[in-house]
Structure 1
């Protein structure tokens, strides 16, 4: 995920964050990680009593009554809140505050000022942490009771999945050798759960809306869901037991979004205990598997008629009255719905039936009073999640444009959606015959004219409804490759192929301009991915071609420009992104096509090197090395790639940048002066007004690891050497002095090692907290970025990674 540390551009929804949870759930660790990365002040209220009394909580409570302890704890906590009210802070409350009713009430009454996040984890982890030796079931019940109390005051719930070193390692090609003692410094590694929590916090506080070039941001794909997108539908709890979400494998290839439908009837019949916690865990595992790159939709799967029938069945032979059963079920329904909102999904799926009056509807008591009261309550809780309204009908004339008294038609649902101010809606029915599918197109044309701002997903279910699914543009449901296609379901591969066969999507051509080793690799990767996903796109290497003529082709999809074909930004005929304009170079050209008319497109130049460096650093720098005013970074190399690295670092907030170029002194001076002139400390970078000090490192300083005055040793080293940077002896030696950072750091190589590009010599210092990567990491990040820019869909990370490993087996340890 990309973070741009800009104080003026980020708008907080909440002033502060309060972290609550039981002992052993990881409150302090996660809060420290988030505060360092997101620039929030860390306030440890777990120590408020110790700091005030000078003795431990256990010792102090023995000397006073319980009431005195609770009163003093409340007084100190509230005092801290008030003392820091004008600061952007993250508070960690002591676990004992769960027994302090005054503190809990304070949190409830100030939920609009403080964002309260409840940290949860598996019950067994907590029992192990507290060394519990009593009866197991009694311990579990006690933990569940505590979690429920914290959930009652929380705005959001975050499930802390365990992240050991093995989980961290599997995300990368080769980050650390098993023989090295990285295990003794785990705080120097950004573990998956820490990155997940940082992403979670970023979405809750700011919900960043990226520019088109700011790719690989969590929730970036929201805008792309409106154009021939699909959605993998999972059911909780059924798929929680039958699909191993830790390893989706090929299931996620070509998937644009994941929808989790909670089956309330199945939850009751299978007697799953502590449903809310299990649902949070399931969503956390999906986020872990997707690395936050695919939007998640969560809602209640059951229709209201299904639930009404289940309630009526439950009243048979029951000693409880029907009215009481309905009341209990209403409480259960909204309990699950509120839990869904608190998980901070991209979309909360709302069944629009809950807003419609029906004589047998178990929600009638609420709807009769005020159906919009329900929406007001949900909107108050929704935070930065969006709502997707959904409605399914079995009515024969559901798609008819003319309204009929006493029957709900598709236009009634669209009217209701607009009354509720929901901008995206999904309406479905069942096709009795193939011709039923074409009625939907008339309905959609009418909607476009009457409600142009509403995004509508409309299709038929069943074996006769396949055509409508193929024609549907928004969130068409897809199944896993192992599902039974006879039920009218489509895989993402089959859906893509059908759309291209029907000419619903244009066949595009992509190019690598200029022959090089990387061009050959890109051709291999893109052709393999296009074939695997069922995309009728073509990729070809071109040499000695006119860029201007190429861009005029009506089926142009995008181009990767290899050195020396790369275009200077001021010479590019289209519009360059802010990144490319500042760096001065375009290495990727994107055709941004109109959603309404794909034959029309605008050209945009981008610098993928810059974005790849930003993505890699954001996803790998440990919070202990997070951006601060005194952190230093070292860039090795010259030319536009080093310029891209410097720009990326400045956008991330780094203030002290060291630059070394291993060229002849004359050429070094010429290029470095040019670079520092364009990105010097006196320039303001676009709207962010970020300033940085760029210091040129001499040959002597680099060889001996001599730091300029008043600077710390770097925590990031980026190797951007090009062919012309390689000295005559073909070796650049990195002094061990550059690796003296006490908190370690990361070394990013932007080239695949080969006979033309020299590699830095090995050093025993790599063992001391440094994470050293080869060029495959950078190549993977860059390829993922370019794919998403070109295709407008989530890049199949694991598929692309496997292709790179196949192509470079010797680069993987």
Structure 2
């Protein structure tokens, strides 16, 4: 065995570097000095023309939290709400200690709660229970996740929690009572008593989370035994939901949100052109069963319009937020009707305060409110960004009210609000000219301080809505014809808005490709073309086999070239032909995504500005290369790693192969915080090259001196002493068939490398066939009961295409439609045998 070490001077067992605690996962913003993107963006006006880019400032650039970054999280809620499972998930996601009330009580008193109650009686037990819970909270205010059990229903502890909310996040966990009743096998009377006490948790908490049912379980035994390792498989979706939620509360960064590059969907929303907010009235959610699959790609942001508020509405809103996060996975905005007798001021503030409890991404605030009222809300906002709202009078009257608008914009600037929404009712098509003149005045006055969402409302405002550059409210085809009051909904859909932009030549049809030595069987075209069709992009995607860079360049220099997926052997070969590379592609040493840069060459360094030129034709001046392979691996790993196998300082991973996908896998693991990576390849020298490349990167640019990348020379080797068995195995062996030979992906992992008692995640990159590796891991799971999750290569391919679609078009893809089309294509071609 040949070990490639991270440090030549510090040696541990077997001549390998001694293990140290891993630092937090790296941010892609660190390391290589990059061309800074997203610092300036074009502003559209009129019919799609561009003004001078303006830099952005204010609260857009800073993730905020109300509490110290290490403040302990506390979970409260009734029995059966899922606090213990979610607490375990949160502790794993944040790398913190997990403390339960039961365990703390026993450690303090020497008795379990049941034993103490039996010996000392109910009065002494409840007194001791409250005291133990208060002490548990006070002694563990930093670096923990705390599960408050039944004690949270007592008045004494609730009063203590109210004070605790001033320094720590206290999260009220809710769940459907029918599920709780079934789980705990409760009688009607017991269930009613439990449900009656539940709302009291809202008064002693400052955040809340609805634990919607998770249907992600797979075919393992003992699903109903929560003590079984297999039970964690049932929480895959809940794990993703709650991990994201607690990362937002602690400003720890989200695994998806960290992936920020010039052409990434995670760039700030205001740096993108022609984005839409899908308006979803609460009354619609309450009265109609939503098909969330159909709503995918219906907007860039979900605008939850809280059009009613009464007893029980708070829980309904909490569940609506959870459903949208689970199914649509886009940022959430909360808006309200105007303040009227029907929707009075106290109701308005109740909605806003509740939205802040849910940690939504955007909250629309009426700038007509007193400054002190807005400041009071701002003190509670955490990571939520405010959008200031100004409602203008009918078009001709705007000029006489300009000073009032300026006064409100000044208020927004002074309060750190950098997005302002201005609407004006239109009674005729030419009313839009009045609003346009006002916006030109405001842009000149507030350049660098405010970004404007501005449009006319009503049926005569549709043209204005189409050309508004950011966060235009839209409806969905499925919302029409269902008996709703149409005044609650916008007049256009995102699809209609995009089609209007193409019809008016603001955006233009483009041609996209996959280039490679032999891509005739590529599945990329079916996914991308399906996505174009669903969301209304008149683009086309083709597979073209090429023999040289000249073959690629001939098509990539065309005026209507939109971008390309790059397959082997060109992922490395064409890198020196590109003017710009993402930091990710440079670190990996390979690209799989080619994006054209348009305009004069002097401007192409402004990649944030270039990203706004997507979906527009024109002369190509140079090219930008990125890599979405590593993103697909990272996304699938985070989705499939159970809390018991979350990456920590001693976690190990095994990569099979040493090609482009293996490089992407290694980079993804490093970005996720894995510091012990082992590589096996049939040709050892190629594995050494891969390892040396990333060791240099870790030391020079990644700033990860603790990382170890070890080459395994033979399948006869025992697993290296001093390292934990791998809980992540990624097979990057090609699925293609060599002439006259068997499938290259004919590999199984040596039994001595499969010693993880907690199982793990096994990712197979091959997708046309069920490989021996997949069969091996499934058999291992069956024979040992160890909870290994098998990730099919189609899942990785799908995520890679999703990320590429966003890079090349700047649009949110319809993921479910792409996935269904991918599966159908494989079946049609006789794959998965």
TM bucket by the smaller chain? Answer: 0.7 to 0.9
SS state at 2:443 partner: helix
| TM-superposed deviation, 1:512 | 2.0
| TM-superposed deviation, 1:470 | 0.9
Q: Which 10-residue stretch deviates more, 580-589 or 692-701?
A: 692-701
Q: Is 1:674 aligned with 2:689?
A: yes
Matches within 5 A, 1:183-332: 185-188=230-233, 190-206=235-251, 208=253, 210-213=258-261, 220=266, 222-223=268-269, 226-244=272-290, 247-264=291-308, 267-268=309-310, 273-290=311-328, 292=329, 294-300=330-336, 302-304=337-339, 307-308=340-341, 310=342, 330-332=345-347
SS state at 2:756 partner: coil
Task: Identify the match of residue 430 of structure 1 among 392, 401, 425.
Answer: 425
Task: Identify the match of residue 343 of structure 1 among 339, 358, 361.
Answer: 358
Show CA shifts across 1:247-304 (max 9, x none): 323232342111111112xx45xxxx421112111211111211x2x1111122x212
SS state at 2:386 partner: strand
| TM-superposed deviation, 1:589 | 2.3
**What does residue 48 of structure 2 align with?**
none
SS state at 1:808 partner: helix
Show CA shifts across 1:106-140 (max 9, x none): 3333434321111111233334455443548xx54
**What does residue 605 of structure 1 align with?**
625
Matches within 5 A, 1:376-387: 376-387=375-386
**What does residue 358 of structure 1 align with?**
none
Q: Is 1:21 aligned with 2:77?
A: yes
Contact 1:224 1:792 in 2 (8 A): no
**What does residue 446 of structure 2 align with?**
451
Task: Identify the match of residue 6 of structure 1 among 25, 33, 42.
Answer: 25
Distance (whole Å) between structure 2 residues aligned to residue 374 and residue 721 of structure 1: 60
**What does residue 695 of structure 1 align with?**
710
Show CA shifts across 1:183-228 (max 9, x none): 77122454211211011111111163635349988xx364257420
| TM-superposed deviation, 1:75 | 4.5
Q: Is 1:778 aligned with 2:796?
A: yes
Contact 2:371 2:411 in 1 (8 A): no
Q: Is 1:624 aligned with 2:640?
A: no
Q: Cα 1:520–1:51, aligned 2, differ >3 Å: closer, same or farther? A: closer
Distance (whole Å) between structure 1 residues aligned to residue 262 and residue 144 of structure 2: 27
Task: Identify the match of residue 665 of structure 2 among 645, 653, 668.
Answer: 645
| TM-superposed deviation, 1:528 | 2.7
| TM-superposed deviation, 1:804 | 0.4
SS state at 2:716 partner: helix
SS state at 2:678 partner: strand
Show CA shifts across 1:500-535 (max 9, x none): 112223444433223533774223322232232211
Q: Which runs of 5+ in 1 are unaligned?
A: 170-175, 312-328, 356-370, 663-667
Q: Cα 1:4–1:660, aligned 2, differ >3 Å: closer, same or farther? A: same
Task: Identify the match of residue 658 of structure 1 among 668, 678, 697.
Answer: 678
SS state at 1:48 partner: helix
Q: Is 1:123 aligned with 2:138?
A: no
Q: Cα 1:108–1:509, aligned 2, differ >3 Å: closer, same or farther? A: same
Q: Which 10-residue stretch deviates more, 737-746 or 451-460?
A: 737-746
| TM-superposed deviation, 1:482 | 3.4
Distance (whole Å) between structure 1 residues aligned to residue 434 and residue 307 of structure 2: 30
Contact 1:611 1:648 in 2 (8 A): yes
SS state at 2:278 partner: strand
| TM-superposed deviation, 1:722 | 3.1
Contact 1:610 1:648 in 2 (8 A): yes
**What does residue 523 of structure 2 align with?**
521
Q: Which runs of 5+ in 2 are unaligned?
A: 1-21, 31-62, 597-606
Distance (whole Å) between structure 2 residues aligned to residue 723 and residue 48 of structure 1: 52
Contact 1:189 1:622 in 2 (8 A): no
Contact 2:455 2:461 in 1 (8 A): yes
Q: Cα 1:788–1:725, aligned 2, differ >3 Å: closer, same or farther? A: same
Q: Cα 1:454–1:641, aligned 2, differ >3 Å: closer, same or farther? A: same
| TM-superposed deviation, 1:461 | 1.8
Distance (whole Å) between structure 2 residues aligned to residue 597 and residue 660 of structure 1: 42
Q: Is 1:752 aligned with 2:787?
A: no
Matches within 5 A, 1:706-717: 706-717=718-729
SS state at 1:805 partner: helix
Contact 2:594 2:625 in 1 (8 A): yes
Distance (whole Å) between structure 1 residues aligned to residue 271 and residue 305 of structure 2: 18
Task: Identify the match of residue 145 of structure 2 among 90, 93, 116.
Answer: 90
Q: Is 1:152 aligned with 2:203?
A: yes
SS state at 1:202 partner: helix
Task: Identify the match of residue 478 of structure 2 among 459, 473, 482.
Answer: 482
Normalised by the length of structure 1, the TM-score is 0.82
Q: In angstroms, what is the RMSD of aligned CA positions? A: 3.4
Q: Is 1:168 aligned with 2:183?
A: no
**What does residue 634 of structure 2 align with?**
614
Q: Cα 1:573–1:638, aligned 2, differ >3 Å: closer, same or farther? A: same
Q: Cα 1:5–1:812, aligned 2, differ >3 Å: closer, same or farther? A: farther
Distance (whole Å) between structure 1 residues aligned to residue 622 and residue 222 of structure 2: 51
